[in-house]
Amino acid sequence: MKRALLAFPLALPLALLLAGGAAAEPPQSGFALMAPETQAMQRDDTANPGMLWVQEGEALWAQSGCTGCHGDAPGSMRGAASRYPAWDATRQAPIDLAGRIEQCRVDRQGAAPLEREGEPLLALSAYVAHQSRGLPIDPPEDPRLAPARALGEALFRERRGQLDLSCAQCHDDNAGRRLGGSPIPQGHPTGYPLYRLEWQGLGSLQRRLRNCMAGVRSEPYAYGAPEYVAIEAFLMVRARGLALETPAVRP
């Protein structure tokens, strides 16, 4: 379980995969396709390892002085994660939740930037997103986000990598079918940051997307790249109404 299983199995029956199943049905979280044991692990906060990061985030929230402006997170941050990525007026660009947290830290508090996929930022993001657990994904009706969503959709439909596959070919056309033994989910960003058993740790949506990109043998974008925010902006619209699960558990 400790190996980094980056590439999807090569002996993949491409013909079958490309035959094209039904178009995306009503949105369904990847949770529904998991083994009952993994579902139980996510449901039980005393067994869900993601809660360790949520706890860490709670301590960081107090230590980093977030309380000074925002008060207690359970009140002030409820629902925040369901509205991201949002439009950032300062940068005139869409911003994701981790980016917003960094903006508060760096621009408002003068703190040194955190590593994008480092434990402290993951913990803070998990703590903030956890406050929205159970709430439906509710992308803002903001026309300024339209170009990013359109770019995200184009990237989602673009074939990439040595396997020449688009996200849509797996997550729209073949969702619910199997790829080398594991079910293909519809690919909704409901639970991030989440605990992935394969990672043995918490990871962001960007890490998940990098895994999918490397899986088709394409070069992933660097962490923090605007392409990820665009893909996320599209994925959130696509997942509208699904309940947030942070911290989810995934195989």
Partner 1 sequence: MARVLINLPRSAKRGELIEIRTLIQHGMETGYRPGPNGVTQQRDIIRSFTCLFDNEEVFHAELYQAIAANPFITFSMLATASGILAFTWTGDNGFAQTETRALTVT
The candidate with the shortest Cα–Cα distance to 206, out of 190, 219, 192, is: 192
Q: Is 163 exposed, middle or buried (0-12, 13-18, 19+ CB in 10 A)?
A: middle
130 or 250: CB nearest ligand HEC: 250
| Cβ–Cβ under 8 Å, residues 229 and 95 | yes
* Minimum distance from residue 114 beta carbon to partner 1 (Å): 18
Nearest by Cα to 249 from 197, 182, 188: 197
Q: How far is the CB of 210 from partner 1 (least distance, A)?
A: 15
- Confirm or reject binding of residue 49 to partner 1 (CB under 8 A): yes
Q: Please, how many CA atoms are within 13 Å of residue 245, restricted to the half-sphere of its CB?
A: 25
56 forms part of the interface with partner 1 (CB under 8 A): yes
When asked if residue 109 is in the footprint of ligand HEC (CB under 6 A), the reply is yes
Binding-residue total with partner 1 (CB under 8 A): 14
Interaction between residue 108 and ligand HEC (CB under 6 A): yes
Residue nearest to ligand HEC (CB): 30
Residue pair 132/82 in contact (Cβ under 8 Å)? The answer is yes
Coil/strand/helix, residue 231: helix
Check binding of 137 to ligand HEC (CB under 6 A). no
Calculate the dihedral angle through the C-alpha atoms of 173, 35, 247, 165, rounding to the nearest 10 degrees.
-20
Cα(246)–Cα(127) distance, integer angstroms: 9
178 φ, ψ (degrees, to nearest 5): -110, 150
Nearer to partner 1, 118 or 241 (CB): 118
Mention every residue, 6+ apart, whose C-beta is less than 8 A from residue 76.
70
- Name the residue type at position 247: P
We find the least distance from the C-beta atom of residue 46 to partner 1, in angstroms, to be: 4
Write out the two tokens for 26: 């009503």
Site track for ligand HEC across 146-185, x = CB under 6 A: ----------x--------x-x--xx-------x--x-xx
**Site membership for ligand HEC, residue 216 (CB under 6 A):** yes
Q: Does 145 bind ligand HEC (CB under 6 A)?
A: no
Catalytic residue list contains 212: yes
**Subset of 182-211 contacting partner 1 (CB under 8 A):** 197, 200-201
| Residue 188 tokens, joined | 């909704």
Q: Which of residues 8-47 bind partner 1 (CB under 8 A)?
A: 45-47
Q: Which residues are known catalytic residues?
A: 212
Applying CB under 6 A, the residues found at the interface with ligand HEC are 8, 30, 64-66, 68-70, 77, 80, 86, 97, 100-101, 104-105, 108-109, 124, 128, 156, 165, 167, 170-171, 179, 182, 184-185, 187-189, 191, 208-209, 212-213, 215-216, 231, 250-251
